[in-house]
Each structure stands twice: as C-alpha cells, then as structure tokens.
A and B are shown apart, each in its own frame.
Chain A
Amino acid sequence: MLIYTVRRLGLALLVAIAVSMVSFMLIRMSGDPAIALAGENASAEEIEYVRQQYGFDRPVIVQYLDWGYRALQGDFGESPYFNQPVTTVIGDRIGVTMTLGLCALTFAVLLSIPMGVLAATRPNTWIDRTALSISVMGQAMPSFWFGLIMIIFFGVYLRWLPISGSDTWAHYVMPTIALGYYATPAFMRLTRSGMLEVLASDHIRTARAKGLRWPKILYKHALRNAIIPVVALAAVQLGFMLGGSIVIESVFAIHGIGYLAWQSIGRSDLPVVQAIVLLLSIIYVFLTFLSDLMNAFLDPRIRVR
C-alpha cells in the first residue's frame, strides 16, 4: 500500500511538472510577453527594458527552470499588476473558488443521486424518462447562458437573489446552480446505470430471499454498491468545476481565481496566470488520487487482499 502511494505521488509530481512546462511554453511562445506587459504603445526601449527586467531575453528553457526552481521554494514571483506576491494574490481569492466548487459539487450530487435512484427503481416509466430528459437537456445548455437567464429571472425579475459579488451566502446560490447543473447529468446517469445493474444482480436477489424489507435492500445493499464509481467521479468532477469556474465567475463577477485568471490574462499578468494553471493542475491530480483512495476505501475487494 505504501509503495502504491509513493508511486502515485511520484506520478502526480511528474504530471504537475509536465503541465506547468506545457503551459509555460505555450504562453511564452504565443507572443512576446514583453510587448504584452509593456503595452501596445510602448517604445522599443521600454519593451527592451521590460524584457531584461523579467528575463524574457533568456532561452525559454532557462526561464522555465528558473521559474520552476523558485516555485519549488514557494516563490511564484510578483504580480506586476497588483505589485504583490503571487501567492498573496491567489491566496486571497482561492477560498471563494473552493467554496463555489464544493457547493456546486454538493448541489450536483444531492440533486442527481436521488434522481438516479428514482429512475432506476422505476425504469422506463415517465419518471425515468423525465429524469433522462432533464439530464440530456442539462448537458446541452451553455452554462454562461444558463447563468444569465437565472440573473434575469431570479435576480432582476423576481428580485430574490443578488446578481454579482460574493459577500453573502445568497450570492453563491445562482453561481452554484450554474456551475453544478452541468455535472448533474453525468452523475445521474452513472447512478441510474449503476443501480440498474446492481438491482439485477444476484446478491440483491439473495437479500430479497432473506426477507429484508425493500428500503433496506435499496439503501444498504444496492446504493452502497452502485455509489462507488459515482464517488470516484465526484472527485474528478470537482477538478473540472474548479477549472471551469472561469466562465461562471466572470458572469457573476465573483472574485475567485477563475475571475482572477481571466483578468490577469487580459492584463498579461503572466506570473499569476502561470501560478493558477499550476495550482489547478495540482488540485486536479490530488483529486484523482483522492478518488482512487475512496475507491479503495469503499470497495472491500480492492481494500482487503
């Protein structure tokens, strides 16, 4: 077990390095960062000054290694825009995004699992078909559009919820729904298919033959088995949600790292962008690791030799 963990961590590290390398190269090679930083109207000397100041005149590999070396020590440089260490800038905003992500995940799970169970226990009825239809439609809607529609309806028309910012819990309601609903179909279908499979299995037949009552069979034996892949998916989906938060945060003007990333890209604040990409990828890798652990924890066949 220990060797397994160490190997996974080693792999995670490699992935993080690869991601940071790729994004570093992509960004550096997409254009001249010196020009981007100095501004379009800058003179040649100003551009050259910026280039030297930030070391853009060195080979890309050297720039990367330098960045990487400092990153390992926790120094991600300073944001030219905020004039603060990147870590501070991100640290101030990561909480908001994590909150949003976790809320969205919770929302998706709380909505989709009961729907999936319900659909599975009444297959091919109108309940099942409705659930499937909702899930199919959910996946076809652009999340930013859904967010805007909600703003018009709940924010302006009904005046129930605030439409921007992140001060109170009420501010999180619409963004949570907008971010979370997109994952709902995947969870629902996975739950439904998992439940259908388990309910047709032999050990459920045994449970019925034992004379157990139906709710007990459903929750203790069926759901417990069917939920295993869903939990694994949840961890990974959280990673996607955090990465996709850039869209929702800009729609609702929530000052999380997604919004920060968007603004920083617009301002060519490259150290911040760099660090955010690295952070998100590390979180994702950690989440996949977590999902593997949960798989092992929930399924005795993996856990116990």
Chain B
Amino acid sequence: MKTAETVIESTESGLGLEVVFPTPGQIMRRRMTRHKGFLFGGGVLVLVLLMAILAPVIAPHDPYHQELTQRLIPPIWGENGTWQHPLGTDNLGRDYFSRVVYGCRISLLIGFACVVIAAVIGAGLGLAAGYFGGRVDMFVSFIITVRLAMPAVLVAVAVVALIGGSMQIVILTLGCLIWDRFAVVLRATTQQIRSMDYIPAAQAAGCSTFWIVSREILPNLLNNLVVIATLEVGRAILLEAALSFLGMGVQPPTPSWGLMISEGKEFMLFDPYLITIPGAALFILVLGMNLLGDGLRDVTAPEGKA
C-alpha cells in the first residue's frame, strides 16, 4: 500500500480506517521533497549552473593565462600548495581552479546544446513513427537501426578530425549522433498513447483534436522527453570529454575537463591531481544529471520504477 500516496482518515472508531487519496499535485510535491536522488541531482545542477554563470566572479584567475614560472604547483593539500592556486596549476602554469570553474560552462553548454539538437531530431522522428505508423514507422525504425549500428564515437572522431575541432563542430556532430534514445522512447510512448482508450473516448465525447493533443498526448510525451533529455545530457558530457581526451573535441586552450585530463596525462604519474580533479568534476556533474533524470522519472511516474 503506497501510503505516501494515500491519506488515511479514521472512520467511526473501532471500525478501522477509510482510505482517501490526495490530489496528484500533492502526490508529486510530496514525492519530490522526499526523493534523495532528485534533490541531490537538482542541487548539483544548480551548483554547476551557478558556477558556470558566475565564473568570472568566482574564478580567481584567467583560465587561459599562462605563468610558466608557476608550472605544476600541487593543490593546497599537496607539498607546496598555496591558496593562490587552491587546486594547483597545470603544466603551463594556468590556475586549475579557474579552469575547472570555466569548464563548467563548456560542459553545460555542450551538454545542453547537443541534447536540444538530439531531442529535436529524435523526438521528431519518434513522434512521426509512433503517430503515423505503417511505412513511416518502418522507415524511421530502419534509420534508428542504422544509427545504432554505426560506432558513434568513431564516426564523431573521424568527422571532427577531418573538419577540424571546435565547440560548434562538436555540438553539431554529437547532436546529430545521440538522438537514438529520444527516437526509440518517444516512438514507443506515442504508440502506447495512440492505443490508449482515452483517445477514442475523448473523441467520442466530442473533444477537438487540438484539445486531445494538448491535454492528453503532450503531457505524457513531455514527461518522457524531459527524463530522457536529462539523462542524455550526462551522456553528451561524457562523450564530449572522450572526444576531447582523444584530441578530437574542443581544442586547446579551451578549458574542457576532458581536454584537461588529456593534457595532464603526461604528468599524471607525479602529479595525479592533474587528472583526478577534472575527472572528479565530470563524475559529479554526470552523476548529478543521472540522479536528477532518474529522480524525475520516479517522481512523475513511479509505476515504472522497479
């Protein structure tokens, strides 16, 4: 009995209880405030977003400024650490803390931009396939299979290598590659909604198509879309990091965390902080996004939760 969902009121004493159900709004609000993953993920996102927006204020130094006399200074917990550079400096003397803070911008920007592109492509395809069915569905399913059969990272690397690396290219390439999850899920959701009895019921009751679409179909789709989008942001961020690590992503001196790991690789045996810090940043951000996405799914539709 999901009593987070039900309010129990006493009937005439000694008889037991009568079950009363709260409104959907109340249910959702209660779930949100109790779901630890959702809260943690949301908190991380807000924190990173703030760091990205307020980067010029927070970062003590210019992330691009090289100071070759200050190379490879460890973070404050290291031997020669100094508060001047709380997270140390890299091999070109750039302040690591500032680079991490500005890196938030890169990760968030690329993550969200890729997802927007992917969502448009994927949702469009999925909706069309689910709604029209028949040949459209066959065609879209074929395209999805082709996309899944292609080794995404490899193709992305190849394209970037040939065109040249830059943030715009990375966003475009990744956006055009990671739409598969959107397409698959939205196709399934649209098909499911189409087969639901409440659509013909609404039609029978005389509701206009517009009303049906906006009141019955869209809310369900949006719910799924937002959940998938949140999870895909994490995936996009990791992909960008991998590309940058391989040298086929954003180019130096951009403070991309993946690029920082790549640059720090040479020196990692003596100064492991060069790779642990940006890696930890990636980990925390992606973890937060994943928990947020899972949390959203649980909060809006826990029936699917196992």
Contacts and interface: CB of A to CB of B under 8 A. Distances in A.
Interface of A: 11, 14-16, 18-19, 22-23, 26-27, 30-31, 36, 136-137, 139-145, 148-149, 152, 156, 189, 192-193, 196-197, 239, 242-244, 246-247, 250, 258, 261-262, 265-266, 268, 273, 276-277, 280-281, 284-285, 288
Interface in B129-153: 142, 145-146, 148-153
B190 to A, nearest CB: 22
Given A139-B290, A148-B261, A277 B151 contact: yes
B265 A148 contact: yes
A26 B161 CA distance: 12
Contacts of B155: 23, 26, 277
Contact of A246 (B157, B258, B269): B157
B163 A22 contact: no
Interface in B285-300: 286-287, 290-291, 294
B269 A26 contact: no
A246 B153 CA distance: 8
Contact of B150 (A19, A136, A145, A258): A19
Given A22-B146, A246-B154, A273-B158, A149 B276 contact: yes
Interface stretch (B8-16, B52-60, B240-248): B240-248
Interface in B195-209: none
A133 to B, nearest CB: 10
Query: Which of B158, B272, B275 is packed against the most chain A CB atoms within 10 Å?
Result: B158
Contacts of A27: 158-159, 162
Given A152-B268, A247-B245, A250-B246, A281 B149 contact: yes
Contacts of A288: 145
Given A142-B283, A152-B268, A243 B157 contact: no
Contacts of B245: 142, 144, 247
Contact of B153 (A142, A244, A281): A244
B151 A18 contact: no
B234 interface: yes
Contacts of B275: 145, 148-149
A18 B306 contact: no
Would you call the interface of chain B mostly helix, strand, loop, or mixed? helix
The 7 closest A-B pairs by CB, nearest first: A193-B306, A243-B151, A30-B162, A140-B287, A145-B279, A281-B149, A31-B162
Contacts of B291: 136
Given A30-B159, A277-B155, 7 more contacts: A26-B158, A30-B163, A140-B287, A145-B241, A258-B154, A266-B161, A284-B151
Interface in B229-247: 234, 238, 241-242, 245-246
Given A19-B146, A152-B268, A281 B151 contact: yes
A284 to B, nearest CB: 5
A39 to B, nearest CB: 14
B282 interface: yes
14 contacts: A19-B150, A26-B155, A31-B163, A145-B261, A148-B279, A149-B275, A192-B306, A243-B150, A265-B157, A265-B248, A277-B150, A280-B154, A284-B151, A285-B149
Contacts of A15: 142, 145-146, 149
A182 to B, nearest CB: 9
Interface string B22-35: 00000000000000
Contacts of A196: 306
B102 to A, nearest CB: 19
B153 A18 contact: no
B148 A149 contact: no
B150 A281 contact: yes
B238 A136 contact: no
Interface string B246-286: 10100000000010010001001100100110010011101
Contacts of A273: 154, 158
Nearest to A273: B158
B234 A142 contact: no
A137 B148 CA distance: 25
Contact of A145 (B149, B157, B161, B282): B282
Contact of B283 (A16, A140, A261, A266): A140
Q: Indicate the member of B151, B154, B279 with the most A CB atoms within 10 Å.
A: B151
Given A16-B149, A243-B153, A281-B151, A136 B290 contact: yes
Contacts of B248: 265
A261 B246 CA distance: 12
Nearest to B247: A266
Contacts of A31: 162-163
A140 B294 CA distance: 13
A266 B272 CA distance: 28
Contacts of A268: 162
Contact of A23 (B142, B150, B268, B287): B150
A27 B238 CA distance: 24
Contact of B258 (A30, A142, A261): A142
A11 B158 CA distance: 26
A265 B162 CA distance: 8
A232 to B, nearest CB: 14
A258 B258 CA distance: 19
Interface in B76-132: none
